[in-house]
Structure 1
């Protein structure tokens, strides 16, 4: 095929992709405008909080909506793996919070310091107390780097340490650390996985795959030892079909998979990592030249120290309690959770947020109108699993591991260039439309 014809086919595909995406992302019919003066407080000004605020102003007066959160920068977190892999600039994942906010709402540029759900109040870090009729918690995850002895977020980019999670600066520093590792021409790289639920569970795998592709480009892949440490038995990903693929592909690419092995400590000066071995109860110290650290994660401490946290079950004391279908708090019916902060089976991706926002929107309005909560979240999440430069698997699934493909022309279980294009070119515009409350 000629270059000209190839470009023509590419343009045709992109048009088809946009059209199909618009159909699959089209929201259901919205509830009518609520006849209420209820005050809604949204705590958390990331993707979930902003997207919900932009949808609620279609039903409530702007002066009824209060947004709480100190972050002035908005981060397109799905793009951080591309920054850390040397494919994007850090500036491509950055914007301002203010540019996405609907006119007329109140924004308190403070974080919450306490929740008092019995009193229907939130206390801010500056001492301000806010009352609410309905509370939505959208605070995201807390990265617990210090739960790994010797580890600190400020070490990323130094001593061969990388980690994609903190933000664009950390992603850029991760890229720098990996380039330094490659430039040595040989060495040992260790990729890790946390034993807690994490946001974007595919990110550690993406970082491994893109790193392998970069090592291949050096022409000296044989000189680099690459291993992946997972706390789990025979599991790198929660969905069997994708887990089987990754396990097999890592085997083909010469990656040593170390089961039931959890990173618990790091000695950055001497470049040594300490692991807990679940099968034996022993610890193991390993030298490394490069290590990608995935920290344990939880809801923010302010949630963990409140009555909003789960008090039973697998997420007890760590994540916000919410019904996995309605996203309503099981104890406080005028409280809803959305996004990464919730302790439900699947929720910690931007794709999940996109599906959850209309659910919370509908159920919140139903609650205000004394109607049954009928909207249900099916667990939908999506991970464009990059498997190399120019190819990816568009993993889409929901509760029970059920595959939920959105595009009939993209196989949910096969590597395709189409899935790569979605990740690299198409998802950011869709994400921005979500922030605007348009999809």
Structure 2
């Protein structure tokens, strides 16, 4: 009689991701301790009424009950083309339009857009440059595509204290040194998660100039999902700074982040046909299409978002004001707790340094309560993080104060944690939560 099934070895590309992730530790830990969770970056309130009405309307329309066009339902890609052409096209190309059929692909959220871009355009032997700290999905998407991530750090403009995200910059020499003949992709994120950095037009032009000189075949994957959440400065799409920039850039956007509707899982990519074509081809064999009803609702919501909303000129102005007030409130809460926040220019996160002498640094190692939960089989932690200061500060904050944050070294390659100044004793707070949740966190942090 033949033997039973024997588990084969895990695929090599999956092995770096086999251990417990930061999310699979701190989300359960938050629930087990009834902590106020300011770790996860998902809006903590319902979508606006006009979005919910659009979803209901789409669900009742029989024409949206079947598969959508693979690259995106016409009703949505046409709306995206109208709204994004003025944003992403450089001034020298304003006379042309974005072709909804060939220059847009609609995805299962921005997360799938990132994965799809890497799957379609990277291969073994390629390198992709990331700026650290970097959203952890970038590294995973690059490596799962068989390519190698190469990291450059954010640096302080003056080599001094970092009070605001505008004090951070990319050193152009670092970028030039990272470029090799294998460089195939540069990953940009503006507004930035987790730091809240918004790259200025001048900064983007400087980056574009380096790529033009040093890496003419390098694709830019520009993650701009927080485009409407900019509190200081303005959001400038990388694609808009020059014709060369547009020709090399995939601009990624999210319906869920903007409309507090992450459950719809709708994202899109805008770019030149020669790049979008391969994403459209890959899409057919990955998910085939994104849900049709959600796309129809997103199209209507995008159109309605331009109308006045709650005494603001548009919905986008209103939601930005909502987040600005939450940011300002939580910045003061963090300061009152003895921490040193980096005031973000955009997005909905605040990174804060825990200074020497703070009570959260009085002890070292994994807190006893966390060790007990691990022994009881209720929690998993990554063994490689047991000696990381920021991880243990976040663990201590959960068990001592009942507030959940995310350690910043989770956004840094493990081998570089000791070299990155921003990975030492920094934790991330998300302020995309109702006011009563932020006030409860404030009470607990006192």
Name the TM-score, length of structure 2 as normaliser.
Answer: 0.28
Which structure's residues are more often strand, by fraction? 1
Judging by fraction of residues, say which structure has more helix: 2
Structure with more contact order per residue of length (Cα contacts < 8 Å, sep ≥ 6): 2
